[in-house]
Structure 1
Amino acid sequence: MDLDVFASAHRDEWNRLDRLVRKRRRLTGPEVDELVESYQRAATHLSVVRSSGQDPALAGWLSGLVARARAAVTGASTPAWRDAARFFTHTFPAVVYRLRWWWIATTVGTVAFSAALAVWLVVDPAARSALGTPEEIRAYVENDFANYYVEHPGASFAAQVWTNNVWASAQALILGAFGCLPTIAVLLLNGGNLGAAAGMMFAHGKGDIFLGLILPHGMLELTAVFVASGVGLKLGWSLIAPGPRPRLRALGEEARPAIAVALGLVVVLLVSGLIEGFVTGWVHTTWLRIGIGVVAEAAFLAYVFTLGRAAHRDGETGDIAERPQTAPVAG
């Protein structure tokens, strides 16, 4: 086959198809029919051109034309930026709002545990001595705790803490599916570390330094961890008490929205990581540091309880719209 002759014979058809595709939003009824017919013919022409293997450039151009015509005929999918916008304005905040009582209870319980541990360490010197030698505790209180936030460059430190916090949150969320207990263990570990640090600092009169360095990033960071943990506990509870649903179905219905929470928290923890890397150890005005943390925390809570509540009331569940259909089961 002479490909040049073939291309010359059909070039006007291809150009006409290209014009129809470009004005697809303003086509008349007959033009829509012409678009469909031209697309079908062009697809056949593309097959002929590809099979000849003589002109890769023509095959590539015609392939792009056919792809654009196919999108015009079948309807293009929603642009990615719209999906991302909907995720952050509807899906993620709606799931966090729907599960609010789980992570609020997690927050209250973990903070109470940390506070009780801190008070115990403050009032019981024997308990403090179990954490290290007097020299080690003195070094931690006087230098190590504060130096932790400035011993590395801000960018690398922010990336490090972001990675660590995402990993901790992922553990708390995913491990919840194994009967809740692993998530509770993660909470006890993190709450214990927080309470131990607070107890040692307050016991040595450094409570103001502790709060001044923990609150800027810690409010948002811990909230993210508590949200992940609350969702993880809900996952585990769906297996323990699935209600009228089969256990695997209940787990699936909770696990799919949990994926949305995990993805959204990556961004939340990025913000807290940036605060920890560039604010906590480097802004020397205490009220300004804490103020930045308060603003970040208030913005997140307002985001959840305004956009999230509105999306939840509109019926947003965070589940996948094109999820697999469930088959009937007995019992």
Structure 2
Amino acid sequence: MDLDAYVAEHGGQWRRLEELCKRRHLDAADVDELVVLYQRATTQLSALRSRSPDPALVNQLSQLVLRARARLTGRSRPSWAAVTRFLLVGFPGAVYRAWPWWCGVATAFSLLSFFLIWFVANNPDTAGAFIGEQAAAELVDSGFAGYYTEFSAPTFAFHLWTHNAWIAAQCLASGVLIVPVFYLLWENALNIGVVGGVMTSYGRADVFFGLITPHGLLELTGVFVAAGVGLKTAWAWIAPPAELSRGQAVARAGRSAILVAVGLVGLFAVSAFVEAFITPAPVPIALRVACGAAVWLAFLAYVLILGHRATSTPHPTQPTPVDHEVDGVFDLPGRR
């Protein structure tokens, strides 16, 4: 290959490509030209790599091609705007779209839990079968209330946060398999049913509901959302929309599940704070329950108002990726 002749033939295109890469804003004609020149430079780079012994020229053209690719695809830059959009549109919209699923899970879970509480409370022998008579007596005397004060509040909050987030992650990740979600829900409903039934049978229902309600409203809602979104992903696999293939439907549901998973990290942080600091606080039960209910209602309002707005309002036009600035200088051999 005659290197000088090759550079003379294509150098003008490379300089033009570099100029377009350095422009802050491009109109439609500039974008079309950038695409054409990028494709040509890619082909020319391939030819140089296979035939040219000049590593400096190959390296310079490689850098130009990379800058042109970045100019076309855009470079992600973390910004508060992205965080704000996630909080105001992404997360509430994903939760709102799945409301029939998690509301259905919440209804079934609540009915099952209250049935188990009633059954255990009216059949004391079952408590002994589940946890033993001595353990039941210890649970009523001090075990249940002591659970909330056994560790320091910050340590307890961190443990609760990671534990609940892990349960939600399991529901979301295994949702497409269906059975693991039902198993996790059954485990939690059984735990609430047995403990609540034992406390009720010993006349301590006020203590049980007074301690579990402040944080349980928000915490369980987070679990319901995770389970509902996980089951929605499974349904996308079982019965995808007519306009989508099965893989496309699952991919779309999976993207929503990721948004929900990230948002639930924050929800469980709040519920952990409530459980560690408010649930065991030495204040009247009514005040603790009121605090927990206020946080829970605030979350529901957040999802219903912002989620409805996110799903009913068209998304604003996103900026064209090529509007991002790309810096760099391409120095051709012999250029001054």
TM-score normalised by structure 1 residue count: 0.71
How many angstroms apart in 2 are the aligned matches of 1:130 and 1:315? 56
Kindly report structure 1 stretches of 4+ aligned residues shifted beyond 3 Å: 74-79
* Equivalent AA in structure 2 for residue 208 of structure 1: D
Residue 198 of structure 2 is aligned with which of 175, 192, 200?
200
| Contact 1:149-1:277 at 8 Å conserved across structures | yes
Q: Shift of the alpha carbon at 1:124?
A: 1.1
1:4 match: none
2:175 match: 176
How many angstroms apart in 2 are the aligned matches of 1:255 and 1:248? 10
How many angstroms apart in 2 are the aligned matches of 1:156 and 1:121? 32
1:144 match: 143
Q: Shift of the alpha carbon at 1:76?
A: 7.8
Deviation sequence 1:199-246 (CA, Å, 0-9, x none): 111111000000110011110000000000000000111112224232
| Contact 2:127-2:133 at 8 Å conserved across structures | no
1:109 match: 108
2:227 match: 229
Does structure 1 residue 95 correspond to structure 2 residue 94? yes
Flag the structure with more relative contact order, 1 or 2, with Cα contacts below 8 A and sequence separation at least 6.
Answer: 2
Deviation sequence 1:27-63 (CA, Å, 0-9, x none): xxxxxxxxxxxxxxxxxxxxxxxx9xxxxxxxxxxxx
TM-score normalised by structure 2 residue count: 0.70
| Contact 2:222-2:267 at 8 Å conserved across structures | yes
Q: Write out aligned runs for 1:51-200 (5 A).
A: 80-178=79-177, 180-200=178-198
1:220 match: 218
1:296 match: 295
- Cα RMSD between the aligned structures? 2.5
2:270 match: 271
Q: Write out aligned runs for 1:8-87 (5 A).
A: 80-87=79-86
1:306 match: 305
Deviation sequence 1:166-198 (CA, Å, 0-9, x none): 0011111111122x1111111111111111111
How many angstroms apart in 2 are the aligned matches of 1:310 and 1:196? 41
1:60 match: none
The answer for unaligned runs of 5 or more in structure 1 is 1-20, 26-50, 52-66, 323-331
2:13 match: none
Q: Secondary structure at the match of 2:130?
A: coil
| Contact 2:175-2:231 at 8 Å conserved across structures | yes
| Contact 2:96-2:307 at 8 Å conserved across structures | yes
| Contact 1:221-1:272 at 8 Å conserved across structures | yes
Deviation sequence 1:95-126 (CA, Å, 0-9, x none): 11111010000000011111111111011122
* Equivalent AA in structure 2 for residue 290 of structure 1: V
| Contact 1:150-1:282 at 8 Å conserved across structures | no
How many angstroms apart in 1 are the aligned matches of 2:130 and 2:144? 15
| Contact 1:239-1:247 at 8 Å conserved across structures | yes
Change (3 A) 1:259 1:128: same
Report the identity percentage: 38
2:209 match: 211
Q: Shift of the alpha carbon at 1:283?
A: 3.6
Q: Shift of the alpha carbon at 1:282?
A: 2.2
How many angstroms apart in 2 are the aligned matches of 1:237 and 1:75? 35
Q: Shift of the alpha carbon at 1:79?
A: 5.0
How many angstroms apart in 2 are the aligned matches of 1:241 and 1:247? 8
2:240 match: 242
The answer for unaligned runs of 5 or more in structure 2 is 1-21, 26-55, 57-66, 322-336
Q: Shift of the alpha carbon at 1:93?
A: 0.2
| Contact 2:214-2:291 at 8 Å conserved across structures | yes
Q: Secondary structure at the match of 1:130?
A: helix
How many angstroms apart in 2 are the aligned matches of 1:162 and 1:271? 8
How many angstroms apart in 2 are the aligned matches of 1:97 and 1:203? 38
* Equivalent AA in structure 2 for residue 131 of structure 1: F
* Equivalent AA in structure 1 for residue 119 of structure 2: W
| Contact 1:162-1:270 at 8 Å conserved across structures | yes
| Contact 1:224-1:269 at 8 Å conserved across structures | yes
